Chains A and B, each alone.
Chain A
């Protein structure tokens, strides 16, 4: 089992550019979560899906952030336009029997 796969692992971009983060959940898991980790706020939930349908997006900070899950094996988190305060580590997780399993994260730096 490959676990949760995220790409890219590192992303450096300039302010104003569009950024797309990708996630492949563990096969058979029907919940997918996006989290963000910053020094100030720690790990916080952004959005989660159940069977590809968004359930709770109350953690998405602004309209600049959007997430999709077109099928059971793929999800994207998009930031457009990006700002320096979006710099953080973004984690994707999928859930199997009450436990969420995390990917390695994408470290995003917006200059």
Chain B
């Protein structure tokens, strides 16, 4: 049973437009959420995180939104750039991030020129 779901295996967006990646979770014990970006043959790289006490966190072009009642989070990238093409993983943790991470299956984002 997948506790973290990313229902879009791939997403294609034009350069300069907004990219929106979605993630749903089922475990109410999750209280810390992270987004990672992964290039082929490399490890996941941390992008941005959000605690369950917040509903939004921004870092430059990246914004994460959390809707606890819907158990849904999303990552917005504005504007999208060619270097953003990668696989994006949503991850969740309990205990304020001290626990191991539960990952979604990832969304392959393709930025088209």
Contacts and interface: CB of A to CB of B under 8 A. Distances in A.
B89 A100 contact: no
Nearest to A10: B41
Interface in B12-60: 32, 34, 36, 41-46, 49
A101 interface: yes
Q: Which of B44, B89, B100 has the most CB of A within 10 A?
A: B100
Contacts, number: 51
A81 B98 CA distance: 32
B49 A102 contact: no
A15 interface: no
Given A98-B32, A99-B34, A91 B97 contact: no
B108 to A, nearest CB: 13
Contact of A99 (B49, B100, B105, B106): B49
A98 B43 contact: no
A44 B1 CA distance: 13
A56 B100 contact: yes
Interface residues of B, number: 22
Contact of B100 (A4, A33, A42): A33
B101 interface: yes
Contact of A102 (B41, B43, B97): B43
A43 B103 contact: yes
Q: Which of B36, B42, B43 has the most CB of A within 10 A?
A: B43
A91 B49 CA distance: 20
A95 B34 CA distance: 13
Nearest to A105: B43
B100 A102 contact: no
Interface of A: 4, 31, 33, 35, 42-45, 48, 50, 56, 59, 91, 93, 95, 98-105
26 contacts: A33-B100, A42-B104, A42-B106, A45-B100, A50-B98, A56-B99, A56-B100, A91-B43, A91-B44, A95-B97, A95-B98, A98-B32, A98-B96, A98-B98, A99-B34, A99-B46, A99-B49, A99-B97, A100-B101, A101-B46, A102-B43, A102-B45, A103-B43, A104-B41, A104-B43, A105-B41
